[in-house]
Structure 1
Amino acid sequence: MVTVEWWKGNDRDLRALLVSELAQVVSRGAGCAPQDVTVVVRDREPGQDGDAESALGLTSPR
């Protein structure tokens, strides 16, 4: 499963292309069929940057 946070209001055709391309890439790396890859796209309000490093566990504990 791949989760993408996408700015709310983006073009639906572009979103569909993103989902298709991600499924293709992940399927090659995982050795499965593209239809077996789930891509979840979540809308976010512009300006909601969040803390990607913390979410990905890339920061060291304090």
Structure 2
Amino acid sequence: MFLTGEGHDHRGRFLADVLAFDNAILERSHDYIQWLFPLPEASRFSAGAPVLSHEEIALIR
């Protein structure tokens, strides 16, 4: 899973890679947001972003 640092996003980036982004990358690219803050419904902006179940949401909390 991406949020545990074990899995990667649709571009092959791991959580540590995204957390190391500088301000220029953060402003230029926005497809990481759905990976850092996944929702229980599919993203309209990042097709490969994870969709969380209610059980996964409870585990994260």
Do Structure 1 and Structure 2 share a fold, with TM-score over 0.5? no
Structure number with higher relative contact order (C-alpha < 8 Å, ≥ 6 residues apart): 1
Which protein has the bigger strand share? 1
Work out which of the two has the higher radius of gyration on C-alpha atoms and give 1 or 2: 1
Q: TM-score, normalised by structure 2?
A: 0.26
